[in-house]
Chain A
Amino acid sequence: MGMTMTQKILAAHAGLDRVEPGQLIMADLDLVLGNDITSPVAVKEFERIGAEGVFDKGKVAIVPDHFTPNKDIKSAEQCRLIRDFAYRHEIENYFEIGQMGIEHALIPEKGLAVPGDVIIGADSHTCTYGALGAFSTGVGSTDMAAGMASGKCWFKVPEAIRFNLKGKLQPWVSGKDVILHIIGQVGVDGALYQSMEYGGEGLAALSMDDRFTMANMAIEAGAKNGIFEVDDKTIAYVKEHSDREYRIFKADEDAVYTRVIDINLSDIRPTVAFPHLPENTRTIDEVGEVTIDQVVIGSCTNGRIEDLRAAARLLKDKKVHPRVRTIIFPATQKIYLQAMREGLLEIFVEAGAAVSTPTCGPCLGGHMGVLGKGERAVATTNRNFVGRMGHPESEVYLASPAVAAASAITGRISSPEEVMK
């Protein structure tokens, strides 16, 4: 019986020739990640272990991004705690305000994730680096603490669902629409405990940014990880960002999958997830009349340069609707700078949108765009749970940057085709 991509990576990191689904293994880690919400808990647990230092100063990354720049005294204290920890243990990859970005956009950009890696992060969207052909998964703070001390983590070897991609995306359709379509199809627990493995001829048509977005939302289908086959685009990305050695793992021809799902990219329409679950999807043609109060474009799902370019194409020489607060936050400093150089930020400000420094801010209802009672937002983020962006009676509709920008202009959930005709 053959192994999937994920199973092969895990076997190699556990020093085993092969692994079986369900097997419990101890794997060596290439990176352990935490943020300003999860690291404070991890630091306390780390101290309880009584280890002298972290297992490898170059293989721990700490990124304060959730409540930063600090929103209040309590979050400032949390950041102080992790900053002290990072300095005391000489963590090489601690990224201070001004350097930091949203962790899952930052880590690949800094070359800290490459194909074949095993990465854990105390943040559920750590699965993002699967776009690079790495095994990466979200864990909790205690796992982070144990990982920092020992360089190891326990895993139950997952089964996998294989997604065979074919065709090409239509104009105004992006990786976000594909992953929302898939979650709508399999459900929020459709891939529970499993890997989502992507490959097929359609892969070539997806940009790296599309793949990051799709791998990012594997957790919204309940998956342990999402992972893409490595191709020329992956190699080009990795060479541009990292000088680390990488290793390409391919699934065996006779790998066993619980399901094989064919996805024809050409058939996918712009897709929106209605409150309060990412599986409540409708194509843009089925949305109906939904007026909105806020648009948020950014996050670890859709705060990359292609996302901003898509939004700018729509917002150029237009104004956002006077009743719609539009907040755009590039995911990293590098993306911010790039957007500035390309004139995208100017387009946003001219259109009447607010542009923010990199932060998770509104995505988790933290700061910089919290919703009031009964308010509705279209967001390019990844979760629309009750209270996710603020008041428990507010609503979040998940969409692509193109749909979000189109909606910002019209004041209701709209198709980019409608605005650009």
Chain B
Amino acid sequence: MIQGKVIKYGDNIDTDVIIPARYLNTTDPAELAGHCMEDLDKTFTGRVKPGDIMAAGRNFGCGSSREHAPIALKAAGISCIIAETFARIFYRNAINIGLPILECPEAAREIDEGDQVQVDVKTGKIVNLTKGSVYQAEPFPDFMQEIIRADGLIHYVRERMKRS
């Protein structure tokens, strides 16, 4: 179970603002986290706390395929992202690196900045503790659950390659 305070943004949050290309000459998660969201919100790195949940609108993570984007968010402390919709490469990247993300339009719209929110990644249940509302996101299909259980795609592939 994940619980945290919400930091909220709007629609079409692209990977260029999540982590600008000028910082892609490193792969160090901590260094990337230090510049996360800075072109959109200079206060983000200063106020994000480990465990915080990000909420956003449509098409979150659109743009480049840089895995540095979910890596930066995860390293900054974000424990889960709830959005109306996700761009597809960001979606797979987040799952592949073990950053839980949930698509739930109602929750994404109604949750506000600063709300305390609880998420059960396994069932897709989202509870807004501040407002007392409950939402149900589509749970991950079994195959993705397996990847998440294996702590990301790399472990999953390693296990399968060992077996074959």
Which residues of A are at the interface with B, using a C-beta cutoff of 8 A? 24, 37-38, 40-41, 44-45, 48-51, 66-67, 71-72, 74-75, 78, 121-124, 126, 138-143, 145-146, 149-150, 154, 188-189, 192-193, 219, 222, 224, 277, 364-366, 370, 383, 385-388, 392
**Across-interface contacts of A222 in B (CB, < 8 A):** 59, 62, 87-88
**Which range contains the number of B residues in contact with the other chain?**
35 or more
Bound Cα distance A140, B160 (Å): 20
Q: How far is the CB of B154 from chain A (nearest CB, A)?
A: 5
**CA A51 to CA B164, docked complex, whole Å:** 12
In the complex, the number of residue pairs spanning A and B with C-beta atoms less than 8 Å apart equals: 136
A48 touching B88 by the CB < 8 A rule?
Answer: no
Least Cβ–Cβ distance between A85 and chain B, in angstroms: 13
Question: 7 shortest A-B CB distances, which residue pairs?
Answer: A140-B93, A74-B25, A140-B67, A142-B96, A189-B59, A364-B21, A124-B65
Max chain B C-beta neighbours (<10 A), residue from A41, A49, A78, A370: A49
Q: List the B side residues contacting A388 at CB < 8 Å.
A: 16, 21
How far does the Cβ of A145 sit from chain B's closest Cβ, in whole Å? 7
- Report the Cα distance A75→B153, complex, angstroms: 27
**What CA separation (Å) do A71 and B26 show in the bound complex?**
13
18 A-B residue pairs with CB within 8 Å: A37-B66, A122-B65, A122-B67, A124-B64, A124-B89, A126-B65, A140-B70, A140-B96, A142-B97, A142-B152, A146-B154, A154-B143, A188-B62, A189-B62, A222-B88, A364-B16, A383-B14, A386-B14
Residues of B within 8 A of A75 (CB): 25
Which chain B positions have C-beta within 8 A of A67? 24-25
B52-78: CB near A (< 8 Å → 1, else 0) gives: 000000110011111110110000000
Kindly report which residue of chain A lies nearest to residue B156, judged by CB atoms.
Answer: A146
Cβ-based interface call for B109 (8 A): no
State whether A49 touches B161 (Cβ < 8 A). Answer: yes
B14 and A78 contact, CB distance less than 8 A = no
Within the assembled complex, what's the spacing in Å between the Cα atoms of A67 and B87? 25
Q: When the two chains form their complex, are residues B16 and A385 in contact, meaning their CB atoms are under 8 A apart? A: yes
CA distance A145 to B152 in the complex (A): 12
Q: Say whether, besides A222-B59, A222-B87, A277-B12, A387 and B93 are in contact (CB < 8 Å).
A: no
Please state if B27 and A78 are interface contacts (CB–CB under 8 Å). yes
B46 within 8 A of A: no
- Which B residues are in CB contact (< 8 Å) with A387? 16-17, 20, 39
